[in-house]
């Protein structure tokens, strides 16, 4: 079963079980995936689906922080619930150690020696990580190693 079919199946189960917030969140995700599919005019690859979900999770996490800072805990909790739910559809992310090893390997392969090589190394890191790597973590490790 594809990722999209799994999400759709989970949405139907949530609707049947009366889990309103879960079904609303999954409906939004399905709508976003369908929009991307229509814009592309062909089926999305699993990598593209994962990237879309990662974007939605990132948006939810940022909104959660903004709401929490503004003292709107009710809205912050909703955003946290949605982000946690969407993260379940993402592949297991690389740990910090795995990310560090990958960054070290790519620095060796590219021959990067200073922070000015960041623009050369970072795209390779993200490409090799294939959606399973946190860009912020990789960037901070890269800056640390090249400094």
pLDDT tens, residue by residue, 23-32 = 999 999 999 9
pTM > 0.85: no
Q: Which residue has the higher pLDDT, 142 or 33?
A: 33
pLDDT digit string (tens) for 43-81? 988 888 988 998 999 999 999 999 999 999 999 999 999
Average pLDDT taken over every residue of the chain: 89
- Mean pLDDT across 98-124: 84
Count CB neighbours of 54 within 10 A: 19
Beta strands in 89-135 (DSSP E): none
Q: Answer for the pair 137, 117: CB distance below 8 angstroms, yes or no.
A: no
- CATH 1.10.150.110 describes domain 96-146: no
Q: Which CATH number fits domain 3-87: 3.40.50.12780, 1.20.58.340, 3.30.365.10, 1.10.1510.10?
A: 1.10.1510.10
DSSP string, 5-71: HHHHHHHHHHHHHT-HHHHHHHHHHHHHHHHHHHHHTSPPPHHHHHHHHHHHHHHHHHHHHHHHHTT
């Amino acid at each position: 079963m594809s990722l999209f079919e799994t999400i759709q199946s989970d949405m139907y189960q949530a609707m049947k079980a009366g889990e309103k917030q879960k079904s609303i969140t999954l409906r939004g995700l399905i709508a976003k995936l369908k929009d991307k599919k229509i814009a592309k005019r062909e089926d999305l690859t699993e990598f593209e689906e994962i990237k879309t979900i990662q974007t939605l999770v990132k948006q939810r996490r940022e909104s959660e922080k903004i709401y929490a800072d503004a003292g709107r805990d009710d809205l912050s909790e909703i955003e946290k619930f949605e982000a946690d739910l969407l993260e379940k559809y993402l592949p297991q992310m690389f740990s910090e150690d795995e990310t560090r090893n990958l960054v070290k390997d790519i620095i060796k392969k590219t021959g990067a020696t200073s922070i000015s090589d960041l623009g050369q190394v970072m795209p390779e890191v993200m490409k090799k990580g294939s959606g399973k790597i946190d860009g912020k973590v990789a960037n901070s490790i890269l800056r640390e190693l090249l400094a």
